[in-house]
Amino acid sequence: MINNLILKAPINNLSLGNVSYNIIRELYRKNINLALFPTKNTVDLSSFSNIDNDLSSYINEAIKNRYNKINKNTPFLNIWHINGAEDKMSDYNILYTFHETGQATPQEVNILNTYDRCVFSSNFSKDYFSDAGVENSNHSPLGFDEDFFETKKEYMSDKIHFGLMGKWEKRKNTEKIIRMWSERFGDDPKYQLTCCVGNKFLKNEEIAKLKKSTLNNRQYHNINFLPWLKTNAQVNDYLNSIDIDLGGLSGGEGWNLPVFNSTCLGKLPIVLNCSSHKDWATEDNSVLVEPKERIEIYDQKFFYKDLEFNQGYMYTFNKDQFNSALDKALDIISKNKYNINGTKLKNKFTYSNTVDSIINSL
């Protein structure tokens, strides 16, 4: 076990910020003397409602004294995307990273090979980067965020409540999921769909236009679009309110935190059996959908062809598969709304294990 660590990580209210926060919390519990460099030199802990005072002090001290603690013999851990991971701060450097597109570019491989160890969040990414020539690749899965918990509240006892959370992207099949659900259940009072599918990189007008085109300019009384949820407490309430999670139909993920967390809380996910989903979604805890085809991921918004980073493909499904998965999920829910096998994931996948795996690779 190491005693000292230099860490560069984003601390914000996005998915990567939540990952960093959970890793920092485990480093605190393991008494690691930390020099912390927030990515872009910004710190936003507003999402974390119940942050412990001692943990807050640990974070502040690690940032305040970071320049006094750096040493070339102290391992450096960088939590970031491959694009932008060139900078290193030690004689021994490790990158914990996420990738979704199923293809490695020569530029990505070269950057990764400057690290002593590259740790991916999924076996899917590790395998294709190893095949592409990354020499020191490893895999360390994410864990269940312990700030989420079962509220035991009654939300919509008279309806089957579907949820969809995540950035609005082609990669996540957002438009396809909402459109197909509306065609099947639109205005049916027995079913509700709640979407939390904004995107901080799109203007509000763009999101509004996407919603209108997806629903053919119709408004359905049983499809609700939530604004950005600012705190994890709000996210926890949302996750507890749903019965069936559709976010697992994303076509490419580094882990898919919202769906994973909802499954750990006993919700039933419908999951496209691809990319990182294969690390945690099984027939015992999910309704699995085998990908119908693999298509190029480029959307001219977040993924552009012939660039140096994020090249490749995503997976998708057709309407018959979607409806068949809905039928299977509804049958399961009619017998028992509580996904007991899903809750077992939170004991198997923990951030303590994530940190131990990363540190062991040092």
Per-residue pLDDT reduced to its tens digit, 109-157? 999 999 999 999 999 999 999 999 999 999 999 999 999 999 999 999 8
- Which DSSP helix (H) or strand (E) runs through 160? strand 160-165
Mean pLDDT, residues 24-52:
94
- 100 in a structural domain: yes
* 243 contacts 162 by C-beta, under 8 angstroms: yes
Residue 200 lies in a domain: yes
What total of structural domains would you count in the chain? 2
pLDDT at residue 201, as a whole number: 82
- pLDDT higher than threshold 90 for residue 202: no
| CA separation for the pair 91, 251 (Å, rounded) | 38
Same domain, 244 and 177: yes
Does 241 share its domain with 301? yes
The mean pLDDT of 302-313, rounded to a whole number, is 97
Do 132 and 171 lie in one domain? The reply is no
How far apart, in Å, are the Cα atoms of 210 and each of 163, 168, 169, 215?
Answer: 18, 9, 10, 9
CA angle 7–12–18, rounded 5-degree value: 75
Gap between the Cα atoms of 174 and 168, Å rounded:
6
Q: Same domain, yes or no, for 111 and 188? A: no
Reading the block at residue 75, the tokens are: 């391992």
How does the average pLDDT of the chain come out, rounded?
96
- Residue where the block lists tokens 């040092």: 362
Is residue 109 situated within a structural domain?
yes
Is residue 63 domain-resident? yes
Through-space distance between the first and last CA atoms of the chain, rounded to whole angstroms: 9
Same domain, 209 and 317: yes
pLDDT on residue 98: 96
Q: Output 109-117 pairs: Cβ under 8 A, ≥24 positions apart.
A: 109/133, 109/134, 111/82, 111/85, 111/86, 112/82, 112/137, 114/86, 114/88, 115/78, 115/85, 115/88, 116/92, 117/93, 117/361, 117/362
Q: Are 140 and 169 members of one domain? A: no
Q: Which domain holds residue 255?
A: 160-348
- Give the mean pLDDT of 87-92: 94
Model pLDDT, residue 95 = 98
Is residue 149, in this structure, part of any structural domain at all?
no
Rounded to 5 degrees, what angle do the CA atoms 164, 282, 82 make? 65
Residue 154 lies in a domain: no
Give the CATH number of the domain where residue 180 resides. 3.40.50.2000
188 and 336 together in one domain: yes
Q: Round the CA-based radius of gyration of the chain to a whole number and report it.
A: 21
| Cβ(94)–Cβ(360) below 8 Å | no
| Confidence check: pLDDT of 217 > 90 | yes
Predicted local distance difference test score (pLDDT) of residue 324: 98
Residue 101 belongs to some domain of the structure:
yes
329, 248: one domain: yes
* Whether residues 58 and 196 fall in one domain: no
Identify whether residues 59 and 191 lie together within a single domain.
Answer: no
The verdict on 57 and 139 lying in the same domain is: yes
The answer as to whether 11 is a domain residue is yes
Asked if residue 213 and residue 87 are part of one domain, the reply reads no
